[in-house]
Structure 1
Amino acid sequence: MKQIKRLFMITILATVLTACGNTSTTAEEVSISLTITDQTTNTTISEDDFTVQAGTSLQTVLEENYDVEVTDDGFLTAIEGHQQNTDENIFWTYEANGEMVNEGIADYQVEDEDHITFDLQVIE
């Protein structure tokens, strides 16, 4: 009986030590889709799907995949040469999953199955 208890304890101890020794972490990946349009010229600039690490900022996704311009204080001003024009009230806006987002692209962290739409449009 002592041998069975000893074998049982050794098995549990080995399992616990193996679990504690596995320090590798695998970052969760999320799938997102991104649509970019210029409403002032009725042009679709891009429609792409991406797989990125969970917690990635939207700004990082844009900067890694497109030619973008962002001000020092985090405002998106251009994507692929399509520039906002403050004198004509033309600005970039974006929605996530059909809802307007009220945070900057540096603060928005993408989530699995996000559908994000950027529109360059006249704001009245």
Structure 2
Amino acid sequence: MSKMKLFLVSLIAVIGILGGCNSEGADNEQSNVANNQPESSESNASDNENQEKMVTISVTKKKGEETVTKKEVPIEDGAILMDVMKKNFDLKEDGGFITTIEGIEAKKSEKMAWMYSINGESASVGASDLELTPGDSVNFDLHSWE
């Protein structure tokens, strides 16, 4: 009888040890899954944040009749339009006024100028003074100022 008790106690101990090891492994796996999940969510949130910090800038001629280029560009908080234009386009300026975009020059002799609108509204400040907001849509158009 004592051999039987010893056998049962040993069997229970082995089952307990094996069950504990298996449970610990499962806890680690669950912990790894749980740890990876927020990382994935954080990554998605970061991707969404980057997507939200974009503006669309289009360059046209003749009041939108001819499209020169259109780009979706990233911005940082507090981004100023002139700085974003210089960074993303071939641009020349004179005294704070944009004179050339992508090699297309606004000629004073032809009474042409680069005018811009933001979100469909004519701009009320110069490009050096306009702070962009994510999602803004800016259009620079070369047309006669008359």
Residue 42 (structure 1) shift: 4.3
Aligned to 1:52: 75
Residue 106 (structure 1) shift: 1.0
- Is 1:92 aligned with 2:123? no
Residue 94 (structure 1) shift: 0.2
- Where structure 1 has 5 or more consecutive residues not aligned to the other structure, the ranges are 1-27
- Where structure 2 has 5 or more consecutive residues not aligned to the other structure, the ranges are 1-48
Query: RMSD of aligned C-alpha atoms?
Result: 1.9
Q: Specify which structure has the higher proportion of strand.
A: 1
**How many positions carry a matched residue from both structures?**
96
Q: Equivalent pairs: percent with the same residue?
A: 28
Alignment partners' CA distance in 2, 1:59 and 1:99: 18
Code of the residue aligned with 1:99 in structure 2: it is E
Alignment partners' CA distance in 1, 2:130 and 2:144: 23
Alignment partners' CA distance in 2, 1:41 and 1:62: 19
Alignment partners' CA distance in 2, 1:113 and 1:80: 23
Q: Name the SS of the counterpart of 1:37 in structure 2.
A: strand
Aligned to 2:127: 105
Aligned to 2:66: 43
Q: TM-score, normalised by structure 1?
A: 0.71
- Is 1:69 aligned with 2:69? no
Q: TM-score, normalised by structure 2?
A: 0.61
Does the 8 Å CA contact 1:35/1:117 hold for their aligned counterparts?
A: yes
Q: Which consecutive segments of 4 or more residues in structure 1 shift more than 6 A?
A: none
Aligned to 1:19: none
Larger radius of gyration: 2
Q: Name the SS of the counterpart of 2:54 in structure 1.
A: strand
